[in-house]
Each structure stands twice: as structure tokens, then as C-alpha cells.
């Protein structure tokens, strides 16, 4: 059975009085850590708060078809769950499994909410806001899981997706440490006797900080960090260089820190600056996760639009949307030497058609254009209304097609590409999709440095496309 002396050894509870620890013990229960035993499951209701007293847990997430270890709780005071204390929809973000024997303190989320509001109203308010952190991490994991199934659709996008996904994973891994540091700083501030008025002043100073909008000069940043670090060192602040880096990244200078010192208790400057630095770190990490997941979401939306996997085979088609999704999927083929010029007409109507098949046409035309330029040149994609039809034009600045090639371009199995190159779709298939399936036409205009394939699609379906 856990006792007061057990909790006194846990850094997480530094600053709590004996009567507060007794309340916590009364509200919670001791749970043994058994190696190999699952303590809680990813996706279940996070209605319990778990704190490591001793022992080790592994945290794993289900990604694709396998379970991946994403973290470890092996330090007394590491905690997880309890999100339902502030959000009724909170769930565990990972599965916890025992590694080495030990003990956990388990406290119901509802009781945790009551205790936090009684003891640390400011901290409780901040924790409630930080629940968005968990939401961002969950969104990142869900996006990554979805991308696993889409990998076979566009393998070339793996590199495009890897960069933001890796950034989000790194940021998510740092968020736990940043949140622990933030709570620790709040406890230190409370212990130093910070008043509500002083906290308000410090929060106002924090809000004044504005990170630079342009890429800072590395030498100037280093000089500012050195200057601020020396000031903090003279003031007796522990780990001054660590604090200086976080503060300078948010735009703080010596004058700002001096104002923060005036607003802090006599022996509370270190705690105050630690709190500001941790809030800066959390905000920065959340921004990184948000931007990374936005980029991943954008890529997924493009793949979804390209595949038309959730749409009827025949529908009203926005050709510009299909062309954009094709350019997105073909992104790895278009860089770094290809410049893409889009010229979307303002009065282009929807057309009757089969978007999945038309996207195959656009893929073939774009791929041919990139090959014709040998990966270097300008790709121009144009749409405009042409009477009762819409004209789509894909142009390139390659070497052009000879008259003989133009005459045979729509023949089955005819190609000018080496074995292993190309999409596997010849212009004969593109021709059949446009002409036979949509009642349109395809023509070639070519000279060295200016080749254009023009696809004309009727606005209203005719022939086979109308059935």
C-alpha cells in the first residue's frame, strides 16, 4: 500500500504539502506493474491518471499492421492519461505494458480535476489548454496510419510525406518533456510565493514576446544568446544557456528579462523564466505538429481526390481539381528542374465524365511531358472554355515530336521511351478514354521547345459516357 513517504520520493509531487499528498493517496490506489501485463489500451477512455512511483512501462501505438514502441515511462513521476479531467472525449494515446516490476498511483480523472482546481487553479487552467497537445498528437498518428494504406497508390509520395511526418513525430516526442517541465516550473512558482498579480504581470510579459517572422541570422542569434546567458549566469539562474536559447528564440532580450525579474518574487526568477521558456517550447512544438499535420493532410487530400476512391464513377467533374491532384501525385517527378505554370480559366464549367479515368489521362500527359524535357524545363497546364466544350492543354519545352512520331503517337503499343520508363499508359489508351468514353478529341501541336497536347471534352456527355 502506498504511503506518504513513497510519494515524497517522486519529483512530480515536490511542493505539495503533507495534507495534499494525503488527499491524493485517499483519492487514488496503488496498482502493481507486472512485466508483460497491459495497464491500459490505446483508444480507451482516459478516465484514470497514472503516475509511476517505481518500475518501467513501455508505450506503444498501432501503426499500419504492427505495434510500434513510441516511448517509455521509467522515471518516478512520469505520468499518463487523466485527460477526462478536462475533456469528456479524452482517450489514451498509447498502450502501456509493464517492463520491470514496480508500482503506479492511479487517480480517477474526475477526482484529479477537483484536486487540481483546489490546489493549483492557474495550473489547472493551463493543463486544460494543453489538452490540444494530445489532440494534435492523435491527429498525427491517424494521418500516418491512413498514409500506410495509400502507399501503394502513389509510392513516389513517400519522400514527400516522410519529411512532415518525421517532424511531427519528433515534436510529439518532445512534448511530454516540455509539458513535464511546464508543470514543474508552475510548482516552483507556487513554492516561491508568486501572487496572482505577479503571475498576471509575467503572463503579460510572455504575451509580448514575438518570434521573428524572418529567418534569423545565426551569428546574431548566437551573440544574443551569449549576452542573455551571461546576464542569467550573473543572476544565479541554473542552466542559463538552456533558458537563453528558448527565450531568444521567442524574441526576448536582456531588457525583457530585467522586467520579468521585477515582476517575480525575490527568489522566484528562475521558476518564472523556466515557466516562460517551457510555454515557448510547448507553443513551438505545437506549431510544428500543426504545420506538419497540415502538410500531411494536404497530401492525403490530393491522393484521395486523384484516386476518386469515395466518388461515383460518372459525375460532374471539375477538371482543374483533377489536374491539381495529378500534379500533386506527380510531385516527385516534377522537381527540382521542372517549373510548373498553371493557367486556369475563370469561366471553366464542370463537365460530364469519369474523373478516375480522366486522371489517368492527365498522369500520362504530364509524365510524357517531363520525359520529353528530360526532367528540366517548363510544364504548362491550361484549362479554358471552348464553345460547348472545355479545352485542357499540357505543354512542355522539350525537344518536340517529329512528324513521324506525331502520326503514330496514338497507335497501340507505340512508344519512344526506353524499357522501364513511363507510366505504362500509352497515348492510345488516353485517346480511347477521351474519344470513346467521353466523346472528346485529342490533338498534338509540336515543334522544338514547344509541344502541346490538347484534350477537348464536351460539357455534356455524349455516346458511351452518357450511359
Instruction: Quote the pLDDT of residue 307.
Output: 56
Residue 457 falls in which region: left (phi positive, over 0), alpha (psi -120 to 50) or beta: beta
Instruction: Quote the pLDDT of residue 38.
Output: 95
CATH class in words for 314-466: alpha beta
Identify the band that residue 330 occupies on the pLDDT scale cut at 50, 70 and 90.
confident
Q: Cβ–Cβ contacts within 10 Å for residue 467, how many? A: 6
- Has residue 152 got a pLDDT over 80? no
Percentage of the chain with pLDDT > 70?
81
Residue 403 to residues 148, 407, 444, 445, Cα–Cα distance (Å): 45, 6, 10, 10
* Average pLDDT rounded to a whole number, residues 78-103: 87
Q: Which tens digits make up the pLDDT trace of 397-448?
A: 998 888 877 877 776 555 565 544 444 346 777 888 888 888 899 999 998 9
Instruction: Compute the mean pLDDT over every residue in the chain, rounded to the nearest whole number.
Output: 80
Q: Which of 46-50, 79-83, 195-199, 210-214 has the highest mean pLDDT?
A: 46-50
Q: Hey, what's the cell of 183?
A: 508543470
Q: Which tens digits make up the pLDDT trace of 293-310?
A: 877 777 776 666 665 544
Instruction: Quote the pLDDT of residue 135.
Output: 52
- Has residue 343 got a pLDDT over 70? yes
Identify the band that residue 280 occupies on the pLDDT scale cut at 50, 70 and 90.
confident
- Has residue 329 got a pLDDT over 80? no
Nearest to 221 by CA among 264, 258, 253: 253
Return all residues near 11 (Cβ < 8 A) that are at least 6 apart.
76, 77, 184
- Has residue 44 got a pLDDT over 70? yes
Instruction: Quote the pLDDT of residue 157.
Output: 60
Contact 383, 317 (CB under 8 A): no
Query: Is the pTM value of this prediction over 0.85?
Result: no
Q: Which residue has the higher pLDDT, 380 or 426?
A: 380
Q: Which tens digits make up the pLDDT trace of 167-226?
A: 778 888 788 788 888 888 888 888 888 888 888 888 888 888 876 666 577 888 888 888
Domain range summary for the chain, segments of one domain joined by +: 1-119, 120-307, 314-466
Contact 83, 130 (CB under 8 A): no
Percentage of the chain with pLDDT > 90?
24
Instruction: Quote the pLDDT of residue 281.
Output: 82
Tell me the DSSP string of 390-428. EEEEEEE-SS---HHHHHHTTSTT---SPTT-S-S--HH
Instruction: Quote the pLDDT of residue 229.
Output: 82
Identify the band that residue 389 occupies on the pLDDT scale cut at 50, 70 and 90.
very high
Nearest to 293 by CA among 98, 466, 147: 147
Instruction: Quote the pLDDT of residue 214.
Output: 63
What's the CATH fold of domain 1-119?
Jelly Rolls (2.60.120)
Least confident range from 41-55, 206-220, 245-259, 347-361: namely: 206-220
Say how many Å lie between the first and final Cα of the chain, rounded: 75
- Has residue 32 got a pLDDT over 80? yes
What is the C-alpha to C-alpha distance for residues 391 and 386, in angstroms, rounded to an integer? 6
Domains 1-119 and 314-466 share a fold: no
Contact 379, 395 (CB under 8 A): yes
Least confident range from 55-59, 187-191, 316-320: namely: 187-191
* Average pLDDT rounded to a whole number, residues 363-387: 89
Instruction: Quote the pLDDT of residue 420.
Output: 43
Amino acid at each position: 500500500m502506498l504511503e506518504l513517504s513513497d510519494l515524497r520520493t517522486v519529483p512530480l509531487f515536490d511542493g505539495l504539502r503533507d495534507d495534499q499528498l494525503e488527499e491524493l493517496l485517499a483519492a487514488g490506489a496503488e496498482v502493481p506493474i507486472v512485466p508483460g501485463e497491459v495497464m491500459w489500451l490505446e483508444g480507451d477512455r482516459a478516465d484514470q491518471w497514472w503516475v509511476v512511483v517505481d518500475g518501467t512501462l513501455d508505450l506503444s501505438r498501432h501503426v499500419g499492421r504492427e505495434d510500434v514502441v513510441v516511448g517509455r515511462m521509467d522515471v518516478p513521476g512520469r505520468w499518463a492519461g487523466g485527460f477526462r479531467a478536462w475533456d469528456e472525449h479524452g482517450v489514451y494515446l498509447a498502450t502501456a505494458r509493464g517492463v520491470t516490476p514496480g508500482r503506479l498511483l492511479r487517480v480517477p480523472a474526475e477526482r484529479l480535476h477537483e484536486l487540481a482546481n483546489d490546489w493549483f487553479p492557474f495550473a489547472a487552467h493551463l493543463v486544460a489548454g494543453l489538452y490540444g497537445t494530445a489532440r494534435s498528437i492523435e491527429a498525427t498518428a491517424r494521418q500516418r496510419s491512413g498514409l500506410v494504406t495509400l502507399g501503394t497508390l502513389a509510392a513516389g509520395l513517400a519522400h514527400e510525406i516522410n519529411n512532415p511526418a518525421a517532424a511531427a513525430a519528433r515534436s510529439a516526442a518532445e512534448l511530454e518533456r516540455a509539458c513535464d517541465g511546464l508543470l514543474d516550473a508552475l510548482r516552483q512558482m507556487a513554492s516561491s510565493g508568486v501572487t496572482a498579480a505577479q503571475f498576471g504581470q509575467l503572463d503579460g510579459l510572455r504575451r509580448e514576446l514575438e518570434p521573428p517572422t524572418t529567418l534569423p541570422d545565426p551569428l546574431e542569434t548566437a551573440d544574443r544568446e551569449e549576452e542573455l546567458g551571461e546576464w542569467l549566469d550573473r543572476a544565479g539562474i541554473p542552466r542559463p544557456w538552456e533558458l537563453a536559447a528558448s527565450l531568444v528564440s521567442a524574441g526576448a532580450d536582456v531588457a525583457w528579462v530585467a522586467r520579468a525579474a521585477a515582476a517575480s518574487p525575490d527568489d522566484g526568477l528562475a521558476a518564472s523564466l523556466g515557466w516562460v521558456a517551457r510555454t515557448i517550447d510547448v507553443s513551438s512544438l505545437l506549431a510544428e505538429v500543426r504545420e506538419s499535420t497540415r502538410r500531411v493532410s494536404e497530401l492525403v487530400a490530393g491522393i484521395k481526390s486523384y484516386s476518386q476512391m469515395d466518388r461515383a464513377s460518372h459525375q460532374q467533374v471539375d477538371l482543374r481539381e483533377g489536374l491539381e491532384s495529378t500534379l500533386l501525385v506527380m510531385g516527385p517527378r516534377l522537381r527540382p528542374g521542372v517549373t510548373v505554370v498553371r493557367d486556369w480559366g475563370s469561366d471553366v464549367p464542370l463537365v460530364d465524365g469519369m474523373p478516375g479515368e480522366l486522371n489517368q489521362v492527365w498522369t500520362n500527359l504530364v509524365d510524357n511531358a517531363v520525359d520529353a524535357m528530360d526532367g528540366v524545363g517548363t510544364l504548362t497546364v491550361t484549362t479554358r472554355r471552348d464553345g460547348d466544350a472545355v479545352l485542357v492543354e499540357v505543354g512542355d519545352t522539350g525537344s518536340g515530336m517529329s512528324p513521324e512520331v506525331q502520326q503514330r503517337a496514338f497507335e497501340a503499343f507505340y512508344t519512344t521511351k526506353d524499357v522501364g520508363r513511363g507510366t505504362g499508359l500509352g497515348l492510345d489508351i488516353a485517346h480511347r478514354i477521351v474519344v470513346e468514353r467521353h466523346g472528346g478529341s485529342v490533338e498534338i501541336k509540336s515543334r522544338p521547345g514547344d509541344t502541346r497536347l490538347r484534350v477537348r471534352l464536351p460539357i455534356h456527355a455524349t455516346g458511351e459516357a452518357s450511359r
